[in-house]
Amino acid sequence: MQIAIRSLLLISFSLCTLLPAKAQTPYEMKAAFILTLMKYVSFPEYAFETPTERIRIGILGKDPFGDQMDRVLENQQLNGRYWQIKRAKVANELWKCHIVFIAHSEKDNIAEILQYFRQYPTLTVGDGIPNFCENGGIFNFKSVESYRIEASIDAAKHIGITISAAILRHATDIVPCKVCE
Amino acid sequence: MYLAPYMWLFIAFFIFFGINTSEAAPKDMAAAMVRGKLLTQENGQPLHTHLKVLHLESGTQEHNISQPDMEGNYFMFLQAGEFYQVEVSGGAFRPYIFELFIPRYTYYYEIDKTIAFEKVNLLGEELGQRTRILYVSYNLVKLQDSRPVDIIRTRYKFLGEFIEHLINSNDTAVDFDKVLPKATTPLDAVEIPALPDADEGEPREKYVRISRQIDSLIQDPNSDPDLFFKRIDSLQNAELSYLKSHSEEQPIEWAELWEISRLIAKHQLLFTNPKRARISRTQKQSLQEIADFINKEPSCTLDILAFVSSATDDNRRAAAKRLQRIHRYLQKRIDNTEKIRILALASPEDLGLKSETSPEGVEIQIRQKK
């Protein structure tokens, strides 16, 4: 009897693992959002050394996108530049990235992380990180489940990045940067 | 009943996933991403048009619609496999209405329309304008025909353009939390149906409607429709048995059909190797073009005729395979599959044609209702 029950449970377990995964996550849309953001910002000239230098996207912390972004951006171009994706656990491994997505997992060290990126023309995007813009981040999703964004014009100006008014119009909050001088 | 502790873990796991799967979308529940452009005939002037989309069966209004922007771009997320009524209104007068069918497993559908505004006059006074569509083009992509990476790329591109459309819209501020979740399609949960194996007969029910129209030998209405089927009696492979299985159906009154339509174009797909059945890339392009044309022309249908060389059974088998492959290819691309008819699979001699004018191959005839 016990063998029969065990077998039944084991079969059920195996079947469960074969069922399709629950798919709807906000990160596919967030990824599309971040890629679109690139069209609404201008970098200072020195951000790119050559006209064909790749646009580097960094993902700092626990990567919520999986490999989809790599597959989407492979051999794709924006304004004549190919894309490159880098992942890291610490900020200084992403020092040459033009855009850095900072995962929610990094919320506890955010002041330190943003202090590092303020040295470079790097567009920082936070994933629901409290006080992100106050600490010098440029765009921040209001929460991990939300697509609403807050933005800091001061933080962008501080590193020579210009944000189009078209995107700023849709930001729920324009947050003053408290650490940008 | 005693169960070891790990058994309870299994039970808990089973219950958890049992609940979770009830939320998983059925395999064809992903909304198709529909986009289009409404352009003025003149020079792309800003269009003051409004789109209203009704689900035809339920009569309910669809809400996942993003209205045309200043460039005429609009976006919709609609359930595939359903019929819709789209209303384009340019003012207070009669709107332009068209029906839209999104075939199952479609994940991307592009509709471009060129619009003209007609003046509405009464007693010499201009009262306003109504819309009139001058040109339409359709392009749809189905899951079956795409590599997973292409599906993901198309999706990202679409979502990116949708976000841009929202950013550039006239609305003062878009609440992304209200709008973007509508565009979230559980594509990962969609099971991409594999292309049927060419050597495997398709399920019969797919052919039920067409089977009513399949017979043989169109040229002579008095000829014996069983002629073709008798000729292939000795062949046993799947393609031919599918065709043979329809020989018992009632023959269509071909002469009558012939009278109500006229031939407006024909296209031949030739195969230099009599044993070869693979459709080339160029041939696929021309088939796609034909499908696009048929989709946008409501009064047009197409007939497929395959010419069999009578030399060997292998040649006949290859010819039948070509016919079936071309038929399937078109079926997947033509919205209304009732517009496709297989008319004949026979040697040119049997059809009363000279073989040099109809070499080994398949002829597609585009017909228009008179």
Q: What is the pLDDT of residues B89-104, one digit of tens each?
A: 766 566 778 788 887 7
Structure tokens at B308: 């069999």
* B346 pLDDT above the threshold of 80: no
Same domain membership, residue B211 and residue B161: no
Interface residues on A facing B, Cβ-Cβ cutoff 8 A: 5-6, 9-10, 12-13, 16, 19-24, 26, 28-29, 31-33, 35-36, 39-40, 68, 71-72, 76, 146-149, 166-167, 169-170
A11 located within any domain: no
**Residue B126: CATH number of its domain:** 2.60.40.10
Pair (B40, B165) in one structural domain: yes
Q: Residue B37 in contact with residue B73, Cβ under 8 Å?
A: yes
**Does residue B125 belong to any structural domain of this protein?**
yes
Claim to verify: residue B77 and residue B168 sit in the same structural domain: yes
Q: Give the pLDDT of residue B121.
A: 63
The Cα–Cα gap between B141 and B108 comes to 5
Closest partner residue to A39 among B21, B164, B172, by Cβ?
B164
Residue B359 lies in a domain: yes
In a domain, A19, yes or no: no
- Asked if B20 lies within 8 A of A39 by C-beta distance, the reply is no
CB contact under 8 A, B177 and A146: yes
| Pair (B214, B163) in one structural domain | no
Residues B120 and B78 in one domain: yes
Same domain, B240 and B332: yes
B74 and B210 in one domain?
no
Has residue B289 been placed in a domain?
Answer: yes
Please report, as a single letter, which amino acid is at residue A66.
Answer: G
Token pair 């109809």: residue: B358
Q: Is B180 on the interface with A (CB under 8 A)?
A: yes
Q: For residue B314, is it within any domain? A: yes
In a domain, A1, yes or no: no
User: What pLDDT sits at residue B270?
Assistant: 79
Report whether pLDDT(B11) > 60: no
Q: Is B153 on the interface with A (CB under 8 A)?
A: yes
Residue of chain A whose Cα is closest to the Cα of B182: A29
Our CA-based measurement puts residue B5 at a distance from the nearest CA of chain A, in whole angstroms, of: 12
Report pLDDT digits (tens) over B167-185.
Answer: 887 666 778 887 777 676 5
Select, from the ranges A82-91, B129-138, B163-172, B327-336, the one with the highest average predicted confidence (pLDDT): A82-91
> Which residues in chain B have Cβ-Cβ distances shorter than 8 Å to A66?
none
Asked whether residue A128 is domain-assigned, the answer is: yes
Query: Does pLDDT of B138 surpass 90?
Result: no
- Based on the domain organization, do B148 and B257 belong to the same domain? no
**Nearest CA to CA, how far is B79 from chain A (Å)?**
16
CB-CB neighbors (< 8 A) of B21 in chain A: 19-20
B169 and B211, same domain (yes or no): no
Give the Cα separation of A116 and A173 in Å (integer).
24
Of the residues B189, B212, B244, which one is the last residue of a structural domain?
B189
Predicted local confidence at residue B158, as pLDDT: 84
Considering the domain boundaries, does residue A14 fall inside one?
no
A153 is a domain residue: yes
- Residue environment code for B43-59, b if the CB has 16+ CB neighbours within 10 A, otherwise e: eeeebebebebbeeeee
Domain CATH for A110: 3.40.50
Q: Report the alpha-carbon distance of residue A60 to residue A113 in Å, rounded.
A: 10
Give the global pTM: 0.58
For B275-292, write each residue's pLDDT tens digit. 777 888 888 888 888 888
What average pLDDT does range B3-25 have in this prediction? 43
Residues B39 and B173 in one domain: yes
Task: Give A135→chain B minimum CA distance, Å.
Answer: 24
Q: Structural domain of residue B255, as residue ranges?
A: 204-369
> Using an 8 Å Cβ cutoff, are A106 and A84 in contact?
no
Helix (H), strand (E) at residue A86: strand A81-88
Domain tally, chain A: 1
Which of B177, B179, B185 should one mutate to test binding to chain A, selecting the residue with the greatest count of A CBs within 10 A? B177
Same domain, B219 and B148: no
Residue B285, in any domain of the structure: yes
Q: What's the total number of domains in chain B? A: 2
Domain-embedded: residue B15: no
- Please indicate, yes or no, if residue A20 is contained in any of the structural domains: no
CATH code for position B257? 3.30.1330.60
A21-39 pLDDT, tens per residue? 333 456 878 888 888 989 9
Q: Do A36 and B163 touch (CB under 8 A)?
A: yes
> In the prediction, which pLDDT does A113 show?
96
Highest mean pLDDT among B9-13, B253-257, B271-275, B342-346: B271-275
Q: Which residues of B touch A36 (CB under 8 A)?
A: 160, 163-164, 167
Domain boundary among B145, B165, B189: B189
Contact between A20 and B18 using a beta-carbon 8 Å cutoff = no
- Per-residue confidence at B193, pLDDT binned at 50, 70, 90? very low
- Chain A interface includes B25 (CB < 8 A): yes
Q: Are B323 and B220 members of one domain?
A: yes
Which segment of A15-19, A107-111, A163-167, B118-122 scores lowest on mean pLDDT? A15-19
Residue B218 lies in a domain: yes
Q: Is residue A52 part of a domain?
A: yes
* B contacts of A19 (beta carbons < 8 Å): 17, 21, 24
Rounded to whole angstroms, the Cα distance separating B130 from B116 reads 8
| Whole-number Å distance between alpha carbons of B271 and B231 | 21
For residue A71, give the nearest of B149, B168, B181 by CB distance. Answer: B149
Structural domain range at position A152: 25-174
First CA to last CA distance, chain A? 75
Whether B102 is covered by a domain: the verdict is: yes
Say which residue, A85 or B233, is predicted with more confidence. A85
